[in-house]
Chains A and B, each alone.
Chain A
């Protein structure tokens, strides 16, 4: 018997929401409230697209792409309408890792322009190729390489040797 759209979607969402949320947390450099909102919006878009999406090869990867695009669209709108909050985003280091290192990495991500951050998350968290990243961001491979080089340079400047310690944990 054919499953309903809702059944299929819930199965997908149960398996993928955790990863979407974690990606969203990195994209928002630890703003979990915004990350929740972006995750919900992404799930909503996936549900609405489900008839087509469920037939493509990799709905999980597609959802990550939708998330990144949703994030960038949010950033673009926000820049024109919202004033600075003047407070740090909510961060919840609740897993036993060294909060200082974690915050250092999130801060370094936060200092990147949104699109550069998206490139870093897609390339090094999602392990996408330059071409796949370019597709997801509707941009050229050359632009992804440029952003990537610039973003990594900034991350390296800020994090220095710390990142090795963090990575080793």
Chain B
């Protein structure tokens, strides 16, 4: 067998003997990882999928309806549905909702659901079966299929057929966020500039709840003609009932099978405004304001996060102007740029995170600024295998846990060998970059 030449003259990828052996060795090693004893992987995956779907549906159907609305307490903070196993137990343990109203029996006592557990996800333990009962009782006659029929949660999805074609629907029950504004945005017709729709009305019901009926489309650009009709109700005590329906058997990826979704605007309004939701809404844990307690108790769960490309864009704008950016990327709370000042590539990374007071690295030289921000500066060897790589970091955190950590390397990629003696930014520049007020001004939304 030919010897491997580290200078690269021999291409091992072209050596069928070695690659065949490698494939075989990988299979032997891989097959050794048995899935036995890990059946929970699938149910856990299902739970994650349902949460993801719910987030996406709310965000999508919400469109420009102030995405701030995702500050909604329970739905975004915790899981919407629990694993079926746990759910079954929970519904056995939970008293039937036909008992006396929850709000009255629990005043001053332990909350009905394990809500206020600080630092942990809060979820409404509403029996899915009860949600389905109320849904069916307040909608026109037809055939329902539900993605989930047992367990507990805060919403249900599936399809409904009034005889003229299956329609995907999605229902959620939640509490509006800490401020009235977030809920109000959910029931105010959006500007047509941002969300194209055929018709939208907003107003009040007889008992003072606010309600919006929006008849629009799944895709704002209408690249597919799937309609999205949605009714959202905000009660005076801050609960949201949200129902959306489509003229196709799936929100996305299914052919349109009818001209309009089945429930009319009037029927949508009657459904979300039904009194029967009230006892179910009362099972949703109270909203915990998103600020730390003065006594230093754990931070509440819904933590804001920067979305999309805001961090990479801000990084680009804040880098010293003499640096040429050869590559950039990142999303959410993470951004990176590969810069070159003419002396070689240097990778710069930033993370912008809320609720991170307890995660402050604090290695190296730590100082506290007059405003209470802590700053840790460190220089250490790279850890990804590149020869001679150094990793310089300015880690900063405010007293309320807003953390900006900026790192720079003397290479364009951590696993590649050093291209220069030092990163393209000095420690002082990294520190200034991390402390820039712009990071705290990036728009956020509370997403798990």
Residues of A within 8 A of B (CB): 2, 4-6, 9-10, 13-14, 17-18, 21-23, 25-26, 30, 32, 35-36, 39-48, 50-52, 55, 76-77, 79-81, 83-84, 92-95, 97, 102, 105-106, 111, 113-114, 116, 120-121, 124-125, 127, 145, 148-149, 152-153, 155-157, 159, 163-164, 166-169
Contact = CB atoms under 8 A, between A and B. Distances in A.
A17 to B, nearest CB: 5
Contact of B42 (A5, A10, A77, A94): A10
A36 B38 contact: yes
Given A43-B41, A166-B25, A167-B25, A113 B46 contact: no
Given A22-B30, A41-B45, A152-B13, 4 more contacts: A43-B44, A52-B252, A81-B405, A152-B22
B124 to A, nearest CB: 20
Nearest to B334: A77
B249 A2 contact: yes
B99 interface: no
B42 A14 contact: yes
Interface stretch (B86-94, B141-149, B431-439): B141-149
A113 B35 CA distance: 26
Interface of B: 4, 6, 8, 11-13, 15, 18-35, 38, 41-42, 44-53, 56, 145-148, 157-159, 166, 249-254, 330, 334, 336, 349-351, 353, 359, 361, 363, 383-385, 405, 407, 413-415
A124 B26 contact: yes
B252 A51 contact: yes
Main secondary structure of the interface of B (DSSP, over half): mixed
8 contacts: A9-B49, A25-B30, A26-B26, A43-B45, A50-B49, A95-B31, A156-B12, A157-B4
A32 B138 CA distance: 48
Q: Which of A22, A95, A97, A145 neighbours the largest number of chain B CB atoms within 10 Å of its CB?
A: A22
A14 to B, nearest CB: 7
A48 B148 contact: no
A47 B49 contact: yes
A62 B253 CA distance: 16
A145 B348 CA distance: 27
Contacts of A35: 33
